[in-house]
Amino acid sequence: MSVRTRATTWSLGLSGLLLLVVVASAGIGAVTIPPRTVAAILADALPVPVGVSLGGATALPVVGPVPTPTLEFASPFEFAVPRPARIIVLSVRLPRILLAALVGFALATAGTVMQGFFRNPMADPSIVGVSSGAAVGAVATIVLSLSIPFGMEGAAFVSAVVTAFVVYLIATEGGRTPVATLLLAGVAVQTFLGAVISFLLLQSGESLRQVVFWLMGHLAGATWSEVGMLAFVLPLPFVLLVAHARDLNVLLLGEEDAHALGIEVERTKQLLLATASVVTAAAVSVSGVIGFVGLVVPHMLRLLVGPDHRVLLPASALAGASFLVATDTVARSGGAEIPVGVVTAAVGAPFFLYLLRTREVRSP
């Protein structure tokens, strides 16, 4: 089977899975809504905000011209859906679900790239200090009550990207950035920023709760504007990364080899690092630090689809989306809301260990 076929198959399969998870998740909560109703609501709503016709819905008789994209609820397909259910799904649950999907997508993408970049399956998206950077920005905004354009998210994003860049500069000498140095510089800077965060926490006073909530990783209170922001930021970097999937494969052989095979090693490394950092920063700035997704999902998918990034990158991204939607559903469906990071770890780790035992231990 050619690489393209495999990539397509996995991507389609995992997209289908994501759709199922989204529909199931939207029905789960304080008020249970049957999947069929959810599907109807989604089918109803989907053409409107996105402005494209939906494959599943066009089978139904469509009368008259398609409504303009500004319309929200006046959809041509009037399913008999109770209004409360519609509001719960579209205004309360869907933003959060889509945000989870986008954050999971971003973290898994960045994790895959970082693991390839560092040639180490234990690397994760925040290995160059992106998460710590974002946390410092966000916590500083809360504690010092700063008012910045784009608010806390903006501050988190900017400080995350700046941190990654600083780590890169520290590790670079004479136009070369040894991966090992980068790793160590990332660890050192993360430790330093950890101290800064602790210090800010001590100063936080009244806002301590808010800060801790942010630090634990949060998807509650997601808004459509956050969803829109991520949906706007992510596609370009993702396409860029997929376009470099082959280079990433060759980089896995080591930098000397990659050079001998015609890769402009340092330039490619810069591009991969910058792009992956932006992707991570975007996710972290809206959701806080959600660990484990970027570490475990790429690894799990590598065990399933193999190391070829042309297949692995899209598969991992889509699986990450499904994974975070599912775990966030668990996090919010209990009596009291659990931070989603706790759930990702609790659910991800055992599954990861299972895969490790069954797949990796068997082959020496």
User: Residues in the site for another protein, rule: CB under 8 A?
Assistant: 2-4, 116, 119-121, 243-244, 246-247, 249-250, 252-254, 256-257, 259-265, 302, 306-308, 363
Secondary structure element (H or E) that encloses residue 271, with its range: helix 265-287
Considering beta carbons, is residue 166 or 304 the nearer one to another protein? Answer: 304
Residue with smaller CB distance to another protein, 96 or 244: 244
What is the largest distance, in Å, between two alpha-carbon atoms of the chain? Answer: 67
Determine the straight-line distance between the first and last CA of the chain, rounded to whole angstroms: 26
| Shortest distance (Å) from residue 278 CB to another protein | 20
Opening angle at CA 62, ends 25 and 48, nearest 5? 45
Q: Which is nearer to another protein, 212 or 261 (CB)?
A: 261
User: Least distance in Å: CB of 307 to another protein?
Assistant: 4
Minimum distance from CB of 344 to another protein (Å)?
24
Closest separation in Å from C-beta 261 to another protein: 5
SS3 of residue 69 by DSSP: coil
CB of residue 282 to another protein, shortest distance in Å: 24
Residue 236 vs 261, nearer CB to another protein: 261
Neighbouring residues of 342: CB distance < 8 A, sequence distance ≥ 6: 216, 331
Toward another protein, which CB reaches closer, 36 or 119? 119
- Tokens, residue 56: 């599943």
DSSP string, 18-50: HHHHHHHHHH-SSS---HHHHHHHHHHHTHHHH
Give the whole-angstrom CA distance, residue 105 versus residue 286: 13
User: Minimum CB separation from another protein for residue 3, in Å?
Assistant: 8
- Min dist CB 105 to another protein, Å, is 22
How many angstroms separate the Cα of 344 from the Cα of each of 130, 266, 280, 312, 325?
Answer: 19, 34, 17, 20, 10
How many H-runs (helices) and E-runs (strands) does the chain carry?
17, 0
Contact 164/129 with Cβ under 8 angstroms? yes
With respect to another protein, which residue has the nearer C-beta, 153 or 255? Answer: 255
Q: Which is nearer to another protein, 218 or 244 (CB)?
A: 244
Nearer to another protein, 259 or 347 (CB): 259
Beta bridge partners, 176, equal 173
Minimum CB separation of residue 302 from another protein in Å reads 7
Instruction: Give the separation between CA 252 and CA 233, rounded to whole angstroms.
Output: 27
